[in-house]
Structure 1
């Protein structure tokens, strides 16, 4: 199985190696390390790891947490393929079929940020215009989604939201009244680095897909 681990630790020589050694003793094969943040003397990194069988997320948390200053922010399953370039693949598909830009977006964008599903929401019309196969197909009785009111789901700027343990990301689609909303049911809140990456990809797609 593959898991993604988000850890925060003191930004000092050897700290990353300590985490790698602990994961090695648990039988993990580290496939990829993504640096999300380096500031104020701390670092936040995402590890993509593989185990030959199954493992207990709590065991992983407990073992890493014994390292001085190490904080485990999330452990969750991922479909991410280390070394792949899903953002480039997404842009290629949109360029090939710009008329299907939004449908392609909701199908492919979750894999870019280790999310489970995505929808495109039009707050003005009070409806979901596009959704991936795992996503809700309708808004709830309040006009919101996943326990979050519509007004909170459609901010003017990219935002990370939380509701009932579910993590959401909302991105305005440039030049439209639409919002792209992504969700993951496990793991930590979306990091600003993930918001920035998804926002940049969305901006390019809105141009080549001629979304209006």
Structure 2
């Protein structure tokens, strides 16, 4: 998290460089009303360097805080929103399944699920990553009317969900639900929840095939400017 003002990103980038980190990519994830922004740095760290070095470097910059540090191996399949949409258009009949497969890379999450339309019963149609057990449990939050954060500490949830932060978005045309989650955090931002809803809506557009309008300029601008959390 950095002050949302000119020079902040440059100051963090300089500190990371001084610590030996090579910045591969930066995405602005969220602008906040309090004058701060959440940015996602993808950094290549030389062998022998510990992530703690980068954390200390970032914290040396005034008013900067580090919310989460994750590790990604080379070729880990990280994606941007627009790349996910392009992949869906290559296989439109499987647009929702393709989206679920790519969500862990888009949101830096641990896993994603496509749930069948089956009232309040969890029925998994597609799973990506190390998703927790779900089939057959009764979830009081189903069916979803809008994209929402999911209660994972209530009585319905099996133990494998208790340390999870998760969000879901309904597939309006079919009654299915798309979910992604992180085991142990970090928290899912409001902007990420909005992006999930947008991607699910686009998957429905793509899935309807050539007879439906293609992506307009507004949608492409939205996706092109989206960050990856």
Q: TM-score range by the shorter chain?
A: 0.7 to 0.9
How many equivalent residue pairs? 195
Superposition pairs of residues 112-131 of structure 1, within 5 angstroms: 112-122=106-116, 123-124=118-119, 125-131=121-127
SS of corresponding position for 1:200? helix
1:130-181 Cα offsets, whole Å, 9 max, x none, are 11253245437xx16xxxxx22465432234575443322111123322111
- TM-score when normalising by structure 2: 0.70
Separation in 1, partners of 2:135, 2:29: 32
**Unaligned 5+ residue runs, structure 2?**
153-161, 210-229
Q: 2:34 aligns with which of 37, 40, 48?
A: 40
Separation in 1, partners of 2:133, 2:96: 15
1:199 positional shift: 1.9
SS of corresponding position for 2:70? strand
Separation in 1, partners of 2:4, 2:49: 28
Q: 2:131 aligns with which of 118, 131, 135?
A: 135
Q: 1:65 aligns with which of 59, 67, 78?
A: 59
- TM-score when normalising by structure 1: 0.75
Other-structure match for 1:159: 148
Contact 1:170 1:181 in 2 (8 A): yes
**Unaligned 5+ residue runs, structure 1?**
1-7, 145-149
1:29 positional shift: 0.7
Other-structure match for 2:178: 180
Higher strand share: 1
Other-structure match for 2:155: none
Question: C-alpha root-mean-square deviation of aligned residues, in Å?
Answer: 3.0
Separation in 2, partners of 1:154, 1:52: 47
